[in-house]
A and B are shown apart, each in its own frame.
Chain A
Amino acid sequence: MNRNDRDIKLLNEDPDRLLIQYQPVIRIIVRSLAYQGYLPKREMADLVQDVNRKLLERFPRIRSQYNGKCLFRTYFSVVVRNLCLEEFRRMRIVAEPKTEVYEQASGESAADNLIIIQEFQRLQRALNLFTGERPALWTAIRFMADLPVSAEHLSGFEMDPGLEIREKLATELNSGANLQKREKMEVLSRVFNRLEKKNRAPDAIRKWYSSRLEELLGLMNGNPPHSAYSAETLHLLIEKSELEGNLT
């Protein structure tokens, strides 16, 4: 019996014990949100108690609503997070900037590499949230960062013109590496129009890219912000990740 099966068994048979087993997870979530500035740290213990009380009341509902299509731990974590946020709203707590953001990461290269791997995984996850637009956004980011674009990067668009055409389009993008931003948008417009069977003007591509990039940076930085990514540092992350061989 794996952990998920055990959790579900406890949910049905012994929710009190399940709650005790999940104390570390509850605490991590409360602590994490508290550290994001939502809550004065001294009130953490009280909030944990409130969350426990509400969870005890809510177990029948959790049992009926959990549909078993995801890990119970994931579902439970989402519920706990929502309970915390509900409490914050009730207490009218406003997010404050996180002071830890000014702390310096250690200079150890091993730690730096781990951070790059983790952050690159976060970036990939954030990109995946753009679902259908992911290939275009990833291609555009690489192109704007003067990073090589391959035929593989150009797969997954609405239309697949075939490997040969994709290779040609990738070459066109790679030869435009040192162009000005305006000219780059013209190249992107040509390539995307070919791959999406649309007729988007360079200015439309520019607006689309600008809004998506802004949102991507927002996802990476969090709300309230816990990082200070800009387009430049994002490019740097991709570049460093590729140098370290972490690229998927």
Chain B
Amino acid sequence: MKEENKYQTQRDPSTHLSENEFAIYADFLRGDLKDVRGDLKTHVGNCTYCRHELMAITDLLDQVDWVEDSGAMPVKGIRRLAGIKKLMPVLRIAAALALLLIVSGVIQQFIIRPGRINIPDTVRFAGDFVPNPSLEAMVSAKYRSAKDPLVQGPSGETVFTPGDTLNLTWSPDTTDLYLVVITDNQANEIQSFRPGRDSVLVWKVNLKPGLYYWRFDGRDDLWRVGKFRVIGRK
């Protein structure tokens, strides 16, 4: 790669980065270039659009690296072609082959092999905090019934740290049978309680960070759904 010329003409600061400049800056952010021109840094420091573009480009390049490094795609062994007319059918075949390999790669992701570490999808780190659309629709919904036990519990803004206590209170109806269920944001059951004739539930929260929902069921009715978040700090 050519060295950056520090004395070359400064770019027009009012325009966004060119394709070359985006590529240079992306290489810089990914550690492939030691430095970039000061005027590029100044522009990126002041331009929200270019910052977002650069983040998207570097994320994309990470994916290219990851797929290439994992060897999911063949690069070698394709015949050399002379012209465009010859190229297109081969490209179609190459495309079909590559697609086949992608599909086989996807299928392999579902095969569990002992000792194999699943390569993480970086976009899912915050997945434990993503709201569940079905449960969200029920959170804090009011039910009009004379038997409503008027459950009080954590609101959506409640944040617990491990060791904190979750409190639920209600006015019990002796003819009803209650069940309290704690689920994660995928609606997977984490814990359930049969409170009997009590009117309060006190539970020490010992969950990994994420968004959780609590559900207060009666014998025939779902009385209340609430949610809370757990973060790791204490």
Contact = CB atoms under 8 A, between A and B. Distances in A.
B222 interface: no
A235 B161 CA distance: 14
A109 to B, nearest CB: 10
Given A16-B82, A119-B122, A227-B126, A48 B55 contact: no
B146 interface: no
Contact of A21 (B24, B75, B185): B75
Contact of A77 (B20, B64, B119, B124): B64
Nearest to A5: B1
B57 A81 contact: yes
Interface string A23-35: 1110111011000
Nearest to B130: A228
B159 interface: yes
A223 B52 contact: yes
A209 interface: no
A33 B89 CA distance: 24
Contact of A122 (B59, B68, B118): B59
A236 B80 contact: no
B73 A79 contact: no
B54 interface: yes
A20 B125 contact: no
A180 interface: no
B33 interface: yes
Given A78-B19, A108-B117, A219-B55, A24 B74 contact: yes
Among A29, A65, A122, the most chain B Cβ lie within 10 Å of the Cβ of: A122
A70 B23 contact: yes
A227 B123 contact: yes
A49 B92 contact: yes
Interface stretch (A123-131, A150-158, A200-208): A123-131
Contacts of B102: 27, 31
Given A21-B78, A70-B27, A78-B22, A105 B73 contact: no
Interface size class of A (residues with CB under 8 A): 35 or more
Nearest to A215: B48
A215 B52 CA distance: 9
B190 interface: no
Interface stretch (B38-46, B173-181, B196-204): B38-46
Given A21-B78, A29-B60, A69 B24 contact: yes
Interface in B100-152: 102, 117-133
Contact of A229 (B126, B133, B159): B126
B45 A27 contact: no
Interface stretch (B164-172, B213-221, B225-233): B225-233
Contact of B91 (A49, A128, A227): A49
A24 B75 contact: yes
A126 B82 CA distance: 43
A108 B208 CA distance: 13
A225 to B, nearest CB: 9
A29 B64 contact: yes
A88 to B, nearest CB: 13
B1 A71 contact: yes
B99 interface: yes
Contacts of B127: 101-105, 227-228
A124 B169 CA distance: 44
A186 interface: no
16 contacts: A4-B1, A25-B68, A27-B95, A77-B60, A102-B186, A111-B118, A114-B119, A115-B121, A119-B125, A125-B29, A130-B45, A131-B44, A215-B51, A232-B159, A232-B229, A239-B233
Given A81-B56, A102-B132, A146-B233, 20 more contacts: A16-B84, A27-B73, A29-B64, A48-B95, A49-B91, A56-B84, A66-B20, A70-B27, A100-B121, A103-B127, A104-B186, A108-B117, A118-B122, A125-B55, A131-B45, A222-B56, A228-B127, A228-B131, A229-B125, A239-B232
Interface of A: 4, 14, 16-17, 19-21, 23-25, 27-29, 31-32, 45, 48-49, 52-53, 56, 65-71, 73-75, 77-79, 81-82, 98, 100-106, 108, 110-112, 114-116, 118-119, 122, 125-126, 128-133, 146, 215, 218-219, 221-223, 226-230, 232-233, 235-237, 239-240
The 6 closest A-B pairs by CB, nearest first: A24-B73, A131-B45, A75-B23, A226-B123, A115-B120, A70-B23
